[in-house]
Structure 1
Amino acid sequence: MQFTKVYEALNWASSFLRENGRDENAGELLLQFLLKMERSKLLAELRESLNSEVSEEFIDGIKKIAGGYPLQYLIGFEEFYGRQFFVNEEVLIPRPETEELVLGVLTRMRKFYKDEVVEIVDVGTGSGAIAITLDLEQTNAKLYTVDIAQESLQVARENAETLGANVTFLHGDLLSPLIQQGIKVDIVVSNPPYIPEEDMLTLSTVVKDHEPVRALVGGKDGLDFYRRFMEEIPLVLKSKGIVAFEVGVGQGDQVAALLHEAFPDAEVEVVNDINGKDRMVFAEIGF
């Protein structure tokens, strides 16, 4: 099977992906990548010829995507906060909900810190999307980022270098590198693993079979990492500070309760995402 025209390839891909329960738009995105074209140019050239090499590569890629392989790993990047981040199977694919977490941190920084230098740690950085975005969006921020996997840190370093971000990378478990070095920060932000063990079975094959399990599962009820954070954050947070978490749907009140217990005087807020689901929890401490 081969296609001679762009529109033929796209029509087949759309139908094939739909039949396999996948996103039909993936065909257009893959072909844009293979032809190195913007969407507007691709759509203007629907009746142009497609060479056999690109046609074969496109068919092979669409079959992989139909089988559950993430498009982002196939093309090697995902968009986040208007920037292109390199991704591979060692890191989670950045998601739009996490952009809302970043925006929440930036909003609170600008409210409480004005032009002061703000020290931030992003814990469990993966691709580095949170830390790098905060560094590039806020010139008065000093970013640390931690991950337990050297493979993930390598991806994050590559993204920081490509995008021109100035981030300090630390290897270790949660906040232990900061505790050991006596580093204090103003803000702790994290999108930790929060999926309950049993729920892994119900996830899409795209996620559970390809994205790193270490970045997904948060113990029996999904809250293991948040509990550990409550023990470690007091050791690294300055007297005034902000804690910002992404959480799983339905976990907002539970994580808020953990923060209230650890920081009785904190202003804690559960924030819904654009889809109306509890997705972020912020604690403002000592202000």
Structure 2
Amino acid sequence: MQPTFTTIQEARKWASVFLQQYNREPRVAELLLEYHLDLSFSQLLAYERDPFPIQQKDAFIKDVKEHALTGVPIQHLTGHAHFYGREYKVNQNVLVPRPETEELVLGVLKWLSQTSISRPSIVDIGTGSGVIAITLALELENAEVTATDLSADALEVAAENARTHKASVEWREGSFLEPVSSSMDVLVSNPPYISYDDKKEMADTVVDFDPEMALFAENEGMAAYEAIIGQMKRKQFKPKLIAFEIGHQQGIQVKELIERHLPGYQVEIRKDINQKDRMIFAERQV
């Protein structure tokens, strides 16, 4: 049975209640209203007594029900996600960017602002939708940014995002550092770091829709760090800064891995806004 709402306010109330019945966040109702009606949140409130546009009604109801019943991320329904104040295309081939990753980017920008490097070379490993690489390219107009990913489908999304934002990034297909031939000033990565053992505890909005290769790694989530650091050692890459996003219980392990295999780095574990270990910043001392 289709809902019988006639105003924007009634649509918001119906969607919120319907989502709660399926243990979904009621806030999704407002986000889908903003998307389908092309209104800001303040405009939703200002126009809430206005009639709901009939031409948008079926699509809005469909998306609310699909999210409630399947857990499909709202970013997949709208086709975009926000990162560092910009809008990016996302789909089933890329990880939906998380706010915590913005803190990783901020850390890299702050570090570079305190150095004398005028034209930094940056490599983003496992770029996905390209948000890290594109943000750094846009925020640092003199940077030379390269990004890699094993997935050709992900690189297609990333390249489209770069064209949209007019960002200059060189895209390379391959496993982590394999397609990179020369060293860099900064290596940054948000690699897959979730243990397969944790899969059963995760929300269906993540497990069923984000690409598995962007989420999970063998060896209790450490395999990607081991592979990247192994490639750095083999290729004799010695970036001035290594910046990793990490799982909140992996700080000590990743720190020790860098110190064991890459001597000469001062390694710092940093917390995110929720006070969980979330980032590793390793600065070369020699």
Q: Same fold (TM over 0.5)?
A: yes
CA distance in 2, matches of 1:232, 1:103: 26
Aligned to 2:274: 275
Aligned to 1:211: 210
Seen in structure 2, the aligned counterparts of structure 1 residues 20 and 237 have a Cα distance that, compared at 3 Å, is farther
Seen in structure 2, the aligned counterparts of structure 1 residues 199 and 240 have a Cα distance that, compared at 3 Å, is closer
Residues 54-203 of structure 1: pairs in structure 2 closer than 5 A? 54-67=56-69, 68-114=71-117, 116-178=118-180, 182-203=181-202
Q: Deviations over 1:224-245 (max 9, x none)?
A: 0101111112355755511000
- 1:273 is displaced (CA, Å) by 0.2
Please give the secondary structure, in 2, of the residue aligned with 1:23. Answer: coil
Q: Which amino acid aligns with 2:73?
A: P
Please give the secondary structure, in 1, of the residue aligned with 2:26. Answer: coil
Q: Deviations over 1:26-62 (max 9, x none)?
A: 1111111111112222211001111333121111101
Please give the secondary structure, in 2, of the residue aligned with 1:221. Answer: helix
Q: Which amino acid aligns with 2:29?
A: G
CA contact (8 A) 1:3 1:55 kept: no
Moved more, 198-207 or 105-114: 105-114
- 1:16 is displaced (CA, Å) by 1.4
Q: Deviations over 1:128-154 (max 9, x none)?
A: 000000111112211000000010001
Q: Deviations over 1:263-282 (max 9, x none)?
A: 22211000000000000001
CA distance in 2, matches of 1:285, 1:175: 18
CA contact (8 A) 1:123 1:174 kept: yes
Please give the secondary structure, in 1, of the residue aligned with 2:193. Answer: coil
CA distance in 2, matches of 1:237, 1:48: 64
Please give the secondary structure, in 2, of the residue aligned with 1:93. Answer: coil
CA distance in 1, matches of 2:114, 2:283: 11
Q: Which amino acid aligns with 1:71?
A: I
Q: Which amino acid aligns with 2:151?
A: A
- 1:286 is displaced (CA, Å) by 3.2
CA distance in 2, matches of 1:274, 1:9: 34
Give the structure-2-normalised TM-score: 0.95
Please give the secondary structure, in 1, of the residue aligned with 2:278. Answer: strand
CA distance in 2, matches of 1:54, 1:256: 51
Aligned to 1:10: 12
List, as ranges, runs of 4+ consecutive aligned residues in structure 1 with deviation greater than 3 Å: 234-240
CA distance in 1, matches of 2:191, 2:12: 37
CA contact (8 A) 1:239 1:286 kept: no
Residue 226, structure 1, aligned to residue 225, structure 2: yes
- 1:171 is displaced (CA, Å) by 0.5
Please give the secondary structure, in 2, of the residue aligned with 1:63. Answer: helix
- 1:117 is displaced (CA, Å) by 0.7
Q: Deviations over 1:195-242 (max 9, x none)?
A: 101111111000001110010011131000101111112355755511
- 1:120 is displaced (CA, Å) by 0.5
> Gapped runs of 5+ residues in structure 1?
none
Aligned to 2:31: 29
CA distance in 1, matches of 2:57, 2:236: 54
